Structure 1
Amino acid sequence: MSVQSGALSRSRRAVKRPLLDVVAEVLLAQPGASLAEVAEAAGISRTTLHKHYATRDELVRAVGVRATDIWEQAVDRVADKPGTEAGLRELLAAMIESGPQLAFLWRNPVLDGDHELIQRYIDVENRCLAVLDRARKQGLLAASTPDWWLLQTMHALVYTAAEAVHDGKLAPLDAPDLALRTLLHGLGARGVQEASA
């Protein structure tokens, strides 16, 4: 995700958001940001930040844990629903809304050595795949599509939609529908698809 230099604009700082969400955005935009810069972007003192997280590693892990929690909650919302378009849209909407946190999780190699987070990541990814597989069994997604491609495509759509919302290119309410249409139908014109079938 791209965040303006200065980490966050004043207008965004005015909205009270959880500290770890601000940290995710700052570290995505400026991976080398100091704890002082992170604290400033969050509107708190460095001392206050250190009271909660003594080291940068602790802070990064806390953001990773929060991102994983959010991802699990997004999947929980649709876990018991059949593989319907509405269920897929709901999953995409929840994940797009959590875009900065998920982007932090997906793009942060520092977390690759955390075995507990890796296991949780694998578990939630498998749960996402179960949702996609139900949609595949309902005929919404091509049966021949490999599992890894389904997951990577969904991740790419979530990431791109969340970034477009963040940058003001896409309205938040339109993002899940655009991502869902692209997941289900790709970018080809229907006439072209029908002619080649």
Structure 2
Amino acid sequence: MQVREQIIAAALRRLNQDPAASMADLAEAAGVSRATLNRHFAGRDELLDEIGAQALDSWERILDDTGVDAAAASTDPDVHTATVRAVLEGFAASAQEHGWALTSQEVEARPHLRERSERLEDREIVLYAAAQRSGVLRADLPVRWISNTVYGTCVAARESLRRGDVAPRDVARLMAETFLAGTGARP
């Protein structure tokens, strides 16, 4: 692994544990001097831009790998259920690595990252709306509420992992059960 990637990975691990970590803390976590950190990143903003971009890359891969767009075009409730679960499983796995960046207001405040985040969320919303129409998700809830509920379960996963409240192996199940119990269509 190259030094730049080592710094990014270590900084993200540290931020997942301590969102207020300073640049000195991030350099220490990466095992490099502050001068080395500054050679690779002009400042915290540049480092956070890179961490945020990688987190969004992860989110986009999840949407692509789970076939969100094809599922959204389907009318099959089984496809919607399977895809929603797959997305949540992907987010659970990503929460362990990218949890802070995917749920950080500090990252969200960056206009170019926020715009990309909104485009990715829009892809998800089309899936959730299709799942509402097919009876998988509650039709009485605003679709953005459903999307925000997914985001909320990601925050819960991030915090639970950070504090050690849940085992990483349980996160996907907990996210899916929590989400579907609240937003799933009622019998």
Same fold (TM over 0.5): yes
Contact 2:153 2:175 in 1 (8 A): yes
* Matches of 2:93 and 2:114, distance apart in 1: 22
**What residue ranges of structure 2 are gaps of 5+ in the alignment?**
none
Matches of 1:118 and 1:145, distance apart in 2 = 24
**Larger helix share, 1 or 2:** 2
User: Which residue of structure 2 aligns with residue 152 of structure 1?
Assistant: 148
Out of 130, 133, 137, the position equivalent to 1:137 is: 133
- Conserved 8 A contact 2:107-2:113: no
Paired letter, 1:101: H
Deviations 1:116-172 (A, max 9, x none): 212101100111112222322221111121022101111111221243244333233
2:20 counterpart of 1:35: no
Give the superposition deviation at 1:29: 4.5
Please name the residue that 1:87 is paired with: 83
Deviations 1:55-105 (A, max 9, x none): 121111111111111111111122233543221121111112222524334
Letter in 2 for 1:128: E
Q: TM-score, normalised by structure 1?
A: 0.74
- Cα distance in 1, alignment partners of residues 165 and 9 from structure 2: 21
Matches within 5 A, 1:79-118: 79=68, 80-81=70-71, 83-99=79-95, 101-109=98-106, 111-112=108-109, 114-118=110-114
- Opposite residue 88 of structure 1, the aligned amino acid is V
Greater RCO (CA < 8 Å, at least 6 residues apart): 2
Aligned-residue offset at 1:34: 2.6
Q: Deviations over 1:14-73 (max 9, x none)?
A: xxx853243234335444433221011122332332221121211111111111111111
Q: Secondary structure at the match of 1:84?
A: helix
Aligned match of 2:170:
174
| Structure 2 match to 1:49 | 37
Query: TM-score, normalised on structure 2?
Result: 0.77
Cα distance in 1 for residues equivalent to 2:173 and 2:17: 27
User: Displacement of 1:111 after TM fit?
Assistant: 4.5
Q: Distance in 1 between matches of 2:157 and 2:108?
A: 24
Alignment gaps of 5+ in structure 1: 1-16, 188-192
The residue type paired with residue 89 of structure 2 is: A
SS in structure 1 at match of 2:169 = coil
